[in-house]
Amino acid sequence: MNPPLPRSPRKMSVNWKNFFRTLILHGLKHGEHPPAFPIITLASAILCFFYLSCSPLSSRVIYDPKPSEERLQLGQTTIEAEVDELAEHLIESKEATCLEVGVLLPDGSTQSYGYGRVNDEGLSTLPNEDTIFQVGSVSKLFVASVLELLVQEGKINYSDTVRDILPQSVKLSTDIGKVTIYELATHTSGLPREPVTLEQLRFFINYEFTGQNLYSYIDKAWLLKYLMTCKIKNKSHKFNYSNIGYGLLAYLMEIKTNEPFQDLVAEKIFLPFNMKDTVFSLSEEQLDRLAMGHAGDQPYFMKRNTPIKPWDMGEVMAPSGGIYSTVTDLLIFAKHTLAIENSPLNSILIKITEPKVHQEDNETSALGWTISEIGSDHTKITYKHGMTSGYSTYLGMNMSKKIAVVVLCSSFNWDDKIGHNLILRLSHGSDH
């Protein structure tokens, strides 16, 4: 069965994204390197860089869920068949090389389904619930969770400013000094998506052709230097997604607790939940279970499905997007967020799903999460979509129905075509 045609994209940003894709690819075939770096390519790359630095880029492609809902209600299909319909097409079309999809049902049971191959070499191995992927900005959910926990413990306040937390010996621009913890956590600080600097532009252009790490130059010394001169123009307290903002947020929590963020999040979240494969760096055994990453929608000038190594995002940016995990671990996190499994931390995780800031695209941001209302019945989906290097990740929930879906993909794809669709189908159908 083929999915019905998707509705028109709901986000104007997607149209702009495609516009800049067209600009930057002008005169080039996808995956080819030009014999010389033409002026049009450089100019387009610069335009694209500044656009990408201040824009929401990922999107959810929504299919009509009614036929699937009816099949589920009548017992004419299964959850596995619905996942197959959504996932197999992506493998066959080579939009993805490896997919692992996990489902959490209201009774606490889980199901997972693997597609494609874990590696390009040797035997073609199907992924499973313990295959490891880099999860990109899903990492921010753990930053937000630790933040809320520290707030509850009285160790930090949402009203604290960057100036309040950093030592007085650290020089800050006036704009940065006034930024609050709440603004960083809700993406309302006015900070750009990435640092808009010539250095970042140089790394961005290199990335577009090689897939090499965008953030390899950003360490704590660089961050402090950036904070000395960074200016925030036209601060409006509107939602403006910022990777560098979440990197700064994690660093400020380190200052307040005198503990590295990697240790902090392991102590507060990963160890209590037994999320044994949710880590910043992989052991040899975990490396054997890592799905090989691949070029997809990004980098623009690399052929799709070219293998790409995962990024070491470093001490500043790793909390913003450098964590590894599995379907097993992310479904554990979802269980506690939905209070299906009891823990003293459940109230913390539920707290960070509360809506905070309305976005221009009719979505609402919480702490780390985004909340969408979809369809004529306004089905609420609380989700996070992450991309990094050669991977893309989706974690979404219908909190009222206590349903969660995880999609881990070893290709960099802007568009999620499984997560929202599967939640919508399960929200109104029944397979059990």
Task: Judge whether residue 200 has pLDDT over 60.
Answer: yes
The per-residue pLDDT of the chain, averaged, comes to 87
Spell out the domains of the chain, with CATH numbers in brackets.
Answer: 12-428 (3.40.710.10)
- The values of phi and psi at residue 165, to 5°, are -95, -45
Nearest CA-CA partner of 309 in 297, 289, 291, 321: 291
**pLDDT, tens digit, for every residue of 245-294?**
999 999 999 999 999 999 999 999 999 999 999 999 999 999 999 999 99
Report how far residue 109's alpha carbon sits from residue 105's, in angstroms, rounded to the nearest whole number.
Answer: 6
| Number of helices and strands in the chain (H, E) | 17, 14
- In this structure, what token pair is assigned to residue 148? 């809320």
Q: Radius of gyration of the chain from Cα atoms?
A: 21
Report how far residue 349's alpha carbon sits from residue 187's, in angstroms, rounded to the nearest whole number.
Answer: 18
Q: Would you list the DSSP string of 286-335?
A: HHTTBPPEE-SSSSTTS-TT-EEPPP--HHHHHHHH--EE-HHHHHHHHH
**pLDDT, tens digit, for every residue of 13-57?**
334 444 444 444 433 333 344 444 455 555 555 545 544 444 457
Before 6, cis peptide (omega within 30)?
no
DSSP H or E segment with residue 348: helix 346-351
**pLDDT, tens digit, for every residue of 142-179?**
999 999 999 999 999 999 999 999 999 999 999 999 99
pTM here is 0.88
